[in-house]
Amino acid sequence: MVSKSFQDNITFIFMFVFMFFAIAYAEVYDITKFGAKPNGEISKALKDAWAAACAARKPSELLIPNGKFYLTVFEFKGPCKAPIEVKIDGTLIGPEDPLKIPKGVQWITFSYITDLTLSGSGTVDGVGAAQAWASNDPRVTIAKGSPLQYNLSFNFIKNSLITGITSKDSKNFHVNVMTCMNVTFDNFNVVAPEESPNTDGIHIGRSKNITIKNSKLGTGDDCISIVDGCENLHIEGVQCGPGHGISVGSLGRKTGEKPVVGVYVKNCSFSSTMNGVRIKTWPDSQPGEVVEMHFEDLSMDKVDNPVIIDQDYCPHIQCNQEKPSKVKVHNVFIKNVKGSSKSREVVKLKCSKANNGCQNVHIEDINLTYDGPSGPAVQTCSNVKPVYSGKIVPPGCA
Ligand SMILES: *[C@@H]1O[C@H](CO)[C@@H](O)[C@H](O)[C@H]1NC(C)=O
Ligand SMILES: *[C@@H]1O[C@H](CO)[C@@H](O)[C@H](O)[C@H]1NC(C)=O
Ligand SMILES: *[C@@H]1O[C@H](CO)[C@@H](O)[C@H](O)[C@H]1NC(C)=O
Ligand SMILES: *[C@@H]1O[C@H](CO)[C@@H](O)[C@H](O)[C@H]1NC(C)=O
Ligand SMILES: *[C@@H]1O[C@H](CO)[C@@H](O)[C@H](O)[C@H]1NC(C)=O
């Protein structure tokens, strides 16, 4: 006679094995089974494969296998019925002519998906082309908005992971993360030349709990830019360069901007970048707030401005520099920053005179060197009185 508990155990084991297989063997939707051909345009096949995968009631995988595929424009739109993985092993090539992508639409968009994994060893190549970048001159686009597309857009994505993919030569920002929650970029790489304008690596706005780790970001503008409404961002083990560094801002230009709360940049390296870590706000600005900034364990190699707060940020257009920025910057913790600077002002804190300046700024263990012609390395401060601890080289502001 077989005991009840033995039966229970057997049932349990069967259930466990079944669940294991159900999870381990997500059904694969290979675009080549939906009519995609290497070197062909795949919009139709991708649409059909996505519709099938997204409607599946158990975990599924949409596969873009090895090979070159041309893609004019596509939106991976949820919600999907179950967790879904999009695996890009091949190269997706965007249209050379940016006008092929309708105005206001990005090249590849992921939206309204929970439990997305975007993985693979592939590349999305925006074919940034010199011609497209020429029309992306910030002097024009700051005023008018850019006609060019971001490479990859993530909107309303939740509990998701992006890993392995490389974004190359975007015509505009490589990756735009908007209104996302709990998304991790791990081993996600951006490749573009130093002279490609406005090609921010990862641009993040209105998002919470975003992590970027173990990634190499090299581009012509900010490696990572963080704008209004971001909370609890973790950036760790990122190698930035070429590029303009990791920036919070710019902020204060538009009305109704939400605070940026909690940015943790840790164990990152910057190589020949324009900035290391930066907070930038416009003069004569709308109110705003930047709070809980933690910049820690950073190494700088020939960086123009290793640590900079610039509350007079006003490139390309005319600003009323007499009126201070009304963005309040407080609770800033800068710790263990080492390496070499290409300018003399290795730590430059240019705070606004509004809101009593930057409040509660702590600086601990700095060792930044400058060996150029303009004299010894210095730290400069306006409208801020940092609290120093540990070894500070060069000395902090008196
Ligand atoms: C971004 O899009 C551009 C075209 O706009 C393309 O050349 C580039 O490879 C894309 N990069 C990524 C990472 O998607
Ligand atoms: C965040 O997303 C990951 C998937 O990347 C998931 O495993 C985790 O449970 C999510 N966390 C929360 C709090 O939902
Ligand atoms: C966001 O992060 C906070 C703090 O790390 C955590 O308590 C919360 O569960 C996270 N929420 C989501 C949806 O990931
Ligand atoms: C720091 O980042 C590098 C990548 O730049 C990584 O290899 C290393 O493991 C990280 N160290 C720690 C302590 O996380
Ligand atoms: C600062 O770093 C330099 C090398 O970049 C090193 O020679 C020097 O000893 C360091 N100073 C301190 C106080 O750690």
At which of 178, 201, 230 does a domain end? Answer: 178
Q: Compute the average pLDDT of residues 273-291.
A: 95
Summarised one tens digit per residue, pLDDT across range 7-49 is: 667 666 666 665 555 555 789 999 999 999 999 999 999 999 9
Res. 323 pLDDT band, cuts 50 70 90: very high
Opening angle at CA 232, ends 228 and 238, nearest 5:
95
Structural domain boundaries, residue 294: 222-398
Give the pLDDT confidence score for residue 8 in this predicted structure.
Answer: 67
Mean pLDDT check: name the lowest of 101-105, 310-314, 388-392.
Answer: 101-105
Q: What is the DSSP letter of 129?
A: T
Contact 180, 157 (CB under 8 A): yes
pLDDT beyond 70 at 345: yes
Weakest-pLDDT range from 23-32, 108-117, 186-195: 186-195
Q: Are residues 168 and 267 in the same domain?
A: no
Q: What is the pLDDT of residue 195?
A: 62
Provide the pLDDT for residue 126: 66
Which residue CA neighbors atom 2 of ligand 4 most closely? Answer: 237
Which residues, including other chains, have CB under 8 Å from residue 390's CB and lie 6 or more apart?
A: 335, 364, 365, 366
Contact 55, 77 (CB under 8 A): no
Atom number of ligand 5 nearest to Cα 367: 1
Q: Within 6 Å (CB) of ligand 5, which residues are found?
A: 367, 369, 391, 393
Domain membership of residue 210 (yes or no) is no
What is the number of the ligand 2 atom nearest to the C-alpha of 182?
1
Query: Do 55 and 136 lie in a common domain?
Result: yes
Closest ligand 4 atom, residue 269 Cα = 5
Closest ligand (CA of 339): 5
Residue 146 has pLDDT above 50, yes or no: no
Same domain, 27 and 95: yes
What spatial distance separates the first Cα and last Cα of the chain, rounded to whole Å? 87
Residue 191 in any domain: the answer is no
Residues with CB under 6 A from ligand 1: 94, 107, 124-128, 149, 151-152, 167-171, 174
Determine, yes or no, domain membership for 75: yes
Q: Is 162 inside any structural domain?
A: yes
pLDDT at 189: 86
Report if residue 198 sits inside a domain. no
User: Among 178, 212, 244, which residue terminates a domain?
Assistant: 178
Q: Are residues 249 and 393 in the same domain?
A: yes
Q: Return the CATH number at 54.
A: 2.160.20.10
Q: Which of 143, 158, 178 is the last residue of a domain?
A: 178
**Whether residues 142 and 291 fall in one domain:** no
Same domain, 116 and 246: no
User: Catalytic residue numbers?
Assistant: 221, 244
In a domain, 206, yes or no: no
pTM: 0.86
- Atom 13 in ligand 1: residue holding the nearest Cα: 167
Pocket test residue of 186, 213, 214 for ligand 4, highest count of atoms within 8 A of CB: 214
My answer on whether 129 and 278 are in the same domain is no
| Tokens coding 267 | 């164990």
Cα–ligand 1 centroid distance for 329 (angstroms): 34
Residue 133 in domain? yes
* Stretch (H or E) spanning 271: strand 260-271
Atom of ligand 5 nearest to the CA of 340: 5
Is the minimum distance from the CB of 160 to ligand 2 under 6 angstroms? yes
Total number of domains in the chain? 2
Question: Highest-confidence range of 6-15, 157-166, 183-192, 257-266, by mean pLDDT?
Answer: 257-266
Task: Decide if pLDDT at 199 tops 80.
Answer: no
The candidate with the shortest Cα–Cα distance to 116, out of 142, 152, 147, 80, is 80
**Cβ burial 79-113 (10 Å sphere, 16+ → b, else e):** ebebbbbbbbebbbbbbeebeebeeeebbbbbbbb
State whether 173 and 229 are in the same domain. no
> Does residue 393 lie within any of the structural domains?
yes
The mean pLDDT of the chain is 87
Question: Can you tell me the mean pLDDT for 368-380?
Answer: 94
Same domain, 103 and 8: yes
Same domain, 311 and 389: yes
Instruction: Report the distance separating Cα 367 and Cα 88, nearest Å.
Output: 42
In the predicted model, is pLDDT for residue 388 greater than 70? yes
Task: Determine the pLDDT at residue 6.
Answer: 63
Q: What is the DSSP string of 173-235?
A: -SEEEES-EEEEEES-EEE--TT-TT--SEEEES-EEEEEEEEEEE-SS-SEEE-TT-EEEEE
Are the beta carbons of 308 and 275 closer than 8 angstroms? yes
Q: Given ligand 1 and candidates 96, 125, 175, which is best to mutate, with the most ligand atoms within 8 Å of its CB?
A: 125
How high is the pLDDT of residue 365? Answer: 98
The first and second tokens of residue 296, run together, are 């820690």
**The pLDDT of residue 325:** 95
Q: Tell me if residue 356 falls in helix, strand or coil.
A: helix
For residue 34, the cross-strand partners are: none
Tokens coding 241: 């360069």
Instruction: Give the pLDDT confidence score for residue 21 in this predicted structure.
Output: 55
136 band by pLDDT with thresholds 50, 70 and 90? very low
CA of 327 to the centre of ligand 5 (A): 35
Q: Are residues 170 and 226 in the same domain?
A: no
Residue 65 has pLDDT above 90, yes or no: yes
Beta-bridged to residue 231, according to DSSP, are: 208, 261
- At residue 158, the pLDDT reads 97
